[in-house]
């Protein structure tokens, strides 16, 4: 299965990608995670990308497309992958079409008000990437990652002023992809306000129907 996951920031793309990656035995490729790993490693890509990410802006297409093309050329992607956070612009979608033939584009639909509410409690483990939320998925010990013991942080771009900007960028630049994939007959839309396991089930059921 070669899937892309669409949805506003905070719609649950990361959680669903992790679940689907296990169920479908294909790698989960998150452009946000790759950028953050580069920022942590202080690589040239990280330095350049970081200046956009901290403002809630998209990293330029040339940088992002090159990075994804490189990742998709690796052998573990031969039998499929789940792209989380890519494409985010029509230019990226066009570039992806030239690289691979997608099975489907899954749109996780969540209204803006719910997104703002969700993102205001988000935390993440900087060491292993596990996501948490003060209301929906609190760690057992406050501020500590259940999985690896790392000290949880609020991502710079999950701070309220940046969240507003990210939502605007989503509506302006990424939401048009819903129409793009709809026209190609690749779109599957699920209700992202259901419990995470139910969203996963809904995605798997919708994909099975298409087979």
State which of positions 93-152 bind ligand AMP (CB under 6 A).
none
Q: Taking contact as CB under 6 A, which single stretch among the options 20-28, 82-90, 110-118, 175-183 is the one that binds ligand AMP?
A: 82-90
By CB under 6 A, residue 52 contacts ligand AMP: yes
Return d(Cα 34, Cα 43) in angstroms, integer.
Answer: 11
Are 93 and 177 in contact by the 8 Å Cβ rule? The answer is yes
| 166 flagged as catalytic | yes
According to CB under 6 A, which one of 3, 4, 6, 9 is a site residue for ligand AMP?
A: 9
Nearer to ligand AMP, 10 or 26 (CB): 10
Nearer to ligand AMP, 163 or 188 (CB): 163
Close Cβ partners of 5 (under 8 Å, ≥ 6 residues apart): 13, 16, 17, 82, 83, 84, 85, 105, 106, 108
Return d(Cα 20, Cα 81) in angstroms, integer.
Answer: 10
- Judged on CB neighbours under 10 Å (0-12, 13-18, 19+), 64 is buried
By CB under 6 A, residue 180 contacts ligand AMP: no
Nearer to ligand AMP, 35 or 132 (CB): 35
- Judged on CB neighbours under 10 Å (0-12, 13-18, 19+), 91 is middle
Q: Taking contact as CB under 6 A, which single stretch among the options 20-28, 51-59, 101-109, 146-154 is the one that binds ligand AMP?
A: 51-59
* Structure tokens, 98: 């030239």
Residues of this chain that bind ligand AMP (CB under 6 A): 9, 31-32, 35, 52-53, 56-59, 64, 85-88, 92, 157, 166
């Amino acid at each position: 299965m070669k899937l892309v996951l669409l949805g506003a920031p905070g719609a649950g793309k990361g959680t669903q990608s992790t679940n689907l990656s296990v169920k479908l035995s294909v790698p989960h490729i998150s452009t946000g995670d790759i950028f953050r790993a580069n920022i942590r490693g202080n690589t040239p890509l990280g330095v350049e990308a970081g200046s956009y990410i901290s403002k809630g802006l998209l990293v330029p297409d040339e940088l992002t497309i090159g990075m994804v093309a490189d990742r998709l050329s690796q052998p573990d992607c031969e039998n499929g992958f789940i792209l989380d956070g890519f494409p985010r612009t029509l230019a990226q979608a066009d570039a992806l079409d030239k690289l691979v033939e997608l099975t489907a584009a899954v749109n996780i639909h969540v209204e803006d008000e719910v997104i703002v509410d969700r993102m205001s409690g988000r935390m993440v483990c900087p060491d292993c990437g596990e996501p948490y939320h003060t209301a929906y998925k609190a760690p057992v010990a406050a501020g500590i990652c259940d999985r690896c013991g790392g000290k949880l942080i609020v991502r710079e771009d999950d701070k309220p002023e940046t969240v507003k900007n990210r939502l605007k960028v989503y509506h302006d630049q990424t939401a048009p992809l819903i129409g793009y994939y709809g026209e190609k007959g690749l779109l599957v839309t699920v209700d992202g306000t259901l419990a995470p396991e139910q969203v996963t089930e809904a995605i798997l059921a919708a994909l099975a129907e298409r087979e």
